[in-house]
Amino acid sequence: MQIESYKIEEQNQQLAASQQRKFDFVKEQFSNSEAIIQKLINFQIAIPSWALGTGGTRFGRFSGSGEPRSLEEKIEDVGLLHALNKSSGAISLHIPWDIPQNYQAIKALAAQHGLRFDAVNSNTFQDQPDQKQSYKFGSLQNVDKAVRKQAIDHNIEVIKHGIELGSEALTVWLADGSNFPGQLNFRKAFQNTLESLQEIYAALPENWKVFVEYKAFEPNFYSTTVADWGQSLLYATKLGPKAYTLVDLGHHLPNANIEQIVSLLLMEGKLGGFHFNDSKYADDDLTTGSIRPYQLFLIFNELVEGMDAMGMDHATGLGWMIDASHNVKDPLEDLLQSVEAIMIAYAQALLVDRKALNEAQAVSDVVRCQEILQNVFRTDVRALVAEARMRAGGAADPLALYRSLKVRENLIGERGYKTVATGL
Ligand SMILES: [Mn+2]
């Protein structure tokens, strides 16, 4: 299914008057609104190929309908999102779930939808049917050299697929760790992992980055070999200038101060990428902004402040990706909501009065500091985000248009009722 642009224009015409009123109201309050719009237009969030189907839990999976059955259909789905919101102009692939059969055809299809390929993701957290060695006791950390070699080779193969597609980063998330005290020698596990990562690092093209993603626990419950930002930073620092830490919002222990982590990683020039999602407890993979929108805003506040301090381009300085997948929503509606929440938090962070905040911080006016941040957080900036989206050719209200065009019903018609996307 393709969304014709006249359908978007029709909705935009219908909503034009009320949109203008709301936008004028925001403009009145913030003199820099116009300057912010171009930044919002430039800002693109990569959609992970595994989020287009319904996610499972360890207890079961309730498949949706009309899910993409192939890489081509996943690209079409991201194309639908991007046509509606003009902020989803990239896709992040997962190997081996998304191995392209014909690079040129896949690249052409993506280009047709205005999409580029963001970071490619390797998978050594599960065994594939045809592989010789098992990752049951870890991959890059494994005590068995043959297992490590297989995992290294897989990562290098992922880089090769990425090169063909024009990707420029590899994300490595390891499930490696241990379930019981005594199972692992921590230092040996670290050394094995580092040496394996060094071999992968050596295979990176000149313009590539590798993102070392950390996660506190799960699937291992006693220790994880890349468990937190400190450990990730250790690896990234030892690996070299092309290696960075990747922050996944759901990969911390409860109540971790993620905005502080982000700030310090940026200061060290070692923040490379971001995985957005939301959670109540741990790696819940819920819709971004659905549980803790204030935290999302505070993180963006540090991102904007830190990136500006480092002279980084907001749109290209970091890899921006969603990493979520759950059980109950239409995945495309869920992703529209996530992207909207990210754009709102980013817009609010751009509106923070930095000069006033710096001045208030300099005299320890704690009350004023809080007022400055919360003034922005409590401002409804949805019309500002909508304005940017409409100027880029997107819909005033993507979710409403998705529903009124009956996109899911159309996809079910094309793909069938009982389809299961590859992935988690
Ligand atoms: Mn992640």
**Which of 66, 74, 73 lies closest to 50 in space, CA to CA?**
74
Prediction pTM value: 0.97
Dihedrals φ, ψ of 128, to 5°?
-95, 150
- Whole-number Å distance, alpha carbon 219 to ligand 1 midpoint, is 13
Paired tokens of 100: 């392209």
**417 contact partners, CB below 8 Å, separation of at least 6:** 65, 66
Query: Packing angle between helix 366-377 and helix 331-351, nearest 10 degrees?
Result: 140
pLDDT digits (tens, 9 = 90+) for 94-144: 999 999 999 999 999 999 999 999 999 999 999 999 999 999 999 999 999
- Whole-number Å distance, alpha carbon 92 to ligand 1 midpoint, is 11
- Whole-number Å distance, alpha carbon 319 to ligand 1 midpoint, is 12
- Whole-number Å distance, alpha carbon 215 to ligand 1 midpoint, is 8
What are the beta bridge partners of residue 243? 210
- Whole-number Å distance, alpha carbon 403 to ligand 1 midpoint, is 29
Residue 279: how many CB atoms within 10 A of its CB?
18
Q: What kind and span of H or E run contains 305?
A: helix 293-309
Give me the pLDDT at residue 61, please.
79
Give pLDDT < 50 ranges for the chain: none
**308 contact partners, CB below 8 Å, separation of at least 6:** 354
CATH of domain 5-415: 3.20.20.150
- Whole-number Å distance, alpha carbon 132 to ligand 1 midpoint, is 26
| Contact between 336 and 402 (Cβ < 8 Å) | yes
* Residue extents of the structural domains in the chain: 5-415
pLDDT digits (tens, 9 = 90+) for 178-188: 999 999 999 99
| Contact between 55 and 285 (Cβ < 8 Å) | yes
- Whole-number Å distance, alpha carbon 7 to ligand 1 midpoint, is 35
Helix ranges (H only) for 30-177 are: 33-42, 71-85, 103-112, 145-165
Q: Is the bond preceding 398 in cis, omega lying within 30 degrees of 0?
A: no
**361 contact partners, CB below 8 Å, separation of at least 6:** 369
Residue in the structure block whose two tokens are 């090769």:
160
**Which of 200, 223, 215 lies closest to 245 in space, CA to CA?**
215
Enter the DSSP assignment of 203.
Answer: T
Residue in the structure block whose two tokens are 């006016």:
365
Could you list which residues have their CB under 5 Å from ion ligand 1?
248, 275, 323
- Whole-number Å distance, alpha carbon 275 to ligand 1 midpoint, is 5
What are the beta bridge partners of residue 116? 90
- Say how far apart CA 408 and CA 332 lie, in whole Å: 8
- Say how far apart CA 340 and CA 411 lie, in whole Å: 22
Q: Is 86 left (phi over 0), alpha (psi -120 to 50) or beta?
A: left
- Whole-number Å distance, alpha carbon 419 to ligand 1 midpoint, is 25
Paired tokens of 315: 């749109």
Cα 177 to Cα 173, 186, 197, 256: the distances in Å are 12, 9, 15, 21
Paired tokens of 80: 């639908």
- Say how far apart CA 346 and CA 344 lie, in whole Å: 5
Residue 130: how many CB atoms within 10 A of its CB?
6
Residue type, 83: A
Paired tokens of 405: 């065009």
What are the beta bridge partners of residue 120? 170
- Whole-number Å distance, alpha carbon 25 to ligand 1 midpoint, is 37
Helix ranges (H only) for 136-248 are: 145-165, 186-202, 229-239
Give me the pLDDT at residue 274, please.
95
- The C-alpha angle 417, 285, 180, rounded to 5 degrees, equals 115
Cα 222 to Cα 1, 152, 216, 233: the distances in Å are 46, 24, 10, 21
**Which of 346, 372, 377 lies closest to 359 in space, CA to CA?**
372
- Say how far apart CA 36 and CA 348 lie, in whole Å: 10
